[in-house]
Structure 1
């Protein structure tokens, strides 16, 4: 129940033959890890000697991670004779929890095998560090192949959780919406008793990315009615839904509400989404003005959207000006803008 009782139990075990039982010692490592005593966990681990297994190593790393001992976790990982996906995910979590997102990304890229936990760990890290474009990119880049196999693994893991905690529910939601299984996602979403910001954002982004844009906007309205305060990620999903539906008045209104009412500072991705929306519906001058006056260097995607709209609506002059002006951030060696310009 607490660390002192655990130590007393451990002291009693040491006086019996059970002290050599590897399974029991693994339980002790886990117990010390849960109660924030990685030094005791390491002491038990060291005494296992040749009886250590990959399970023992994973428990030790988890104990270090739980106590924010990132360097110790990484050092244990490097000493392991072999790794499994649990080992990789534990160290990945250590890096993201300590704010070392670039190191986490390097580790993620070197992983021989990734699970849904690996992907959601990175998505959460990028979200919390306000790297919105990376979070969105990871959300949509989760493997599309073998969808059924991925979902089966997620559901099995989810069913093993004795009680639906928020983390397991949200991880399963991500897997469902990423694979396009919106019906299953909505059933699970309805079962979550106290949905948090992440739950709502996952559903809004998932619906917006799976051609259920109006449902995304409905969820956004429900979210506000429940008093959940949205963030930058949520608003990306909302603006994306408006963009795909061509709802210019709603898109502009949501953008204004985000800034004026919700106090959210827009990022370049929000401006780019609004530029794309204005350009798509033919309001090229307004889109151009926003592209020119946004407090960021426009990203290439927004500039390409602008050029594509100029081609569609036959405004060669504005397209040529956008492509030639350095302030729009078009990369000189990026071929897409010039291909669009040449086709006008």
Structure 2
């Protein structure tokens, strides 16, 4: 395939007339190569038109697949729309291609034209919704698929579980798990790995561990899923214990494994242990640190009040730090009232993410906590000058299988009165037990 351009050129200029099989083979090679060769594919397409092969079902479908992979969805759609006959493979290729290129509406439009959608069609739709961030739409499609009597395969289930994980939809995730138990692919390793990740991200790492324990066969991904799952749920001891178990059972940790281990150490303040694991990753396993590893080390040092060391890591990173790395250190500056380091960081953050509101708000609160009201005013003026407004954050809670979104001060929910009555009761109970509202210290700015 590395010799594809020369091979194709030879085939096209040999003087003979390439047949359908030759064109298909060359087009398939173009599509399968790491960087799709658009000029060659265009030449093959042009030749197919001259030879009258443009109506061929397999050749047209291959062109749709190639143009989709090459990020040319308009050409893919043109070929598809001009096909006199289309198979389920043609439809599925077009749906998947449009989803790959972010045209969700177009994918649904093609799906609606399909005479009899099959498992692959529904899976392309569901997986495409997940990858385009339309998580609730993905779950809706799965429900409709089941109502249509179409049985999912393991790829469908992995996509649906991923949607549940991202939404924190534990109830729906449990339903999917119960369904999996009745299916022939209940021992599928990829599904088990997805379930571990889903339960961990939904805060039920105990369920994740049950899945892990029942696995007849485990992969590095299985170990990584449970190690990271323990880490994000604050169970550092279990994280480190399973890291050692993983090594004893002959599995070699990778970069994801060490991300979980470093994050666990950071959450409980095991600075020396975290730095030891970081060195172990670099020296014994020869894993070059990625930005997430640097982020963990920065967070580890920041939480331990070693802000200068953390800043040094940021400045010496071989790649440009992202907003997550800088944001975690800025949060540590707020925790320890380090205005000077915060100001240094803010210069980098503004350059990296000039429109991000959260970092401005955080810096404003750092100034407010230090009594630097001139700094608060400067931040507010800077936000106005750049047209930046604080975006309201929202939370999602799942109740009886349905997700409810809300934000601070929100009164749009149909059961708003009941919610605020309950909040008032909780607040009174907290005060009885000695809770003092954080805002009473006066350490917030009006940017907050």
- Tell me which interval the TM-score lies in, with the shorter structure as reference length: 0.5 to 0.7
Name the counterpart of 2:299.
276
**Counterparts of 1:152 and 1:104, CA distance in 2:** 18
Distance (whole Å) between structure 1 residues aligned to residue 158 and residue 135 of structure 2 = 16
Gaps of 5+ in 2: 1-56, 62-86, 98-106, 143-153, 368-448
* Structure 1 residue 73, shift from structure 2 partner: 6.9
Q: What's the counterpart of residue 233 of structure 2?
A: 210
Alpha-carbon RMSD across the aligned residues, in angstroms, is: 3.8
Structure 1 gap ranges (5+) = 1-37, 43-59, 96-102, 124-137
Structure 2 Cα separation of the partners of residues 122 and 267 of structure 1: 29
334, 337, 342: which one pairs with 1:314?
337
Deviations 1:30-57 (A, max 9, x none): xxxxxxxx98xx9xxxxxxxxxxxxxxx
- SS of match in other structure, 1:142: helix
Residue 88 (str. 1) matches residue 122 (str. 2):
yes
The residue that corresponds to 1:198 in the other structure is: 221
8 Å Cα contact 1:173/1:188 also seen in 2? yes
Residue 316 (structure 2) aligns with: 293
Inter-partner Cα distance in structure 1 for 2:157 and 2:320: 29
Distance between the aligned counterparts of 1:140 and 1:72, measured in 2? 22
Match of 1:332 among 322, 342, 354: 354
Number of aligned residue pairs: give it: 259
Give TM-score, length-normalised by structure 1: 0.63
**Cα separation, 1, equivalents of 2:230 and 2:194:** 16
Of 263-272 and 179-188, deviating more is 179-188
Cα deviation, 1:298-325, whole Å, max 9, x if unaligned, reads 111221222222232233222222223x
Please identify, of 239-248 and 157-166, the stretch whose mean Cα deviation from structure 2 is larger: 157-166
Between Structure 1 and Structure 2, the one with more helix by share is 1
Deviation at 1:167, TM superposition (A): 2.3
Bigger CA radius of gyration: 2
Residue 276 (structure 2) aligns with: 253
TM-score where L is the length of structure 2 = 0.50
Q: Is 1:105 paired with 2:139? A: no
Deviation of residue 149 (structure 1)?
3.4
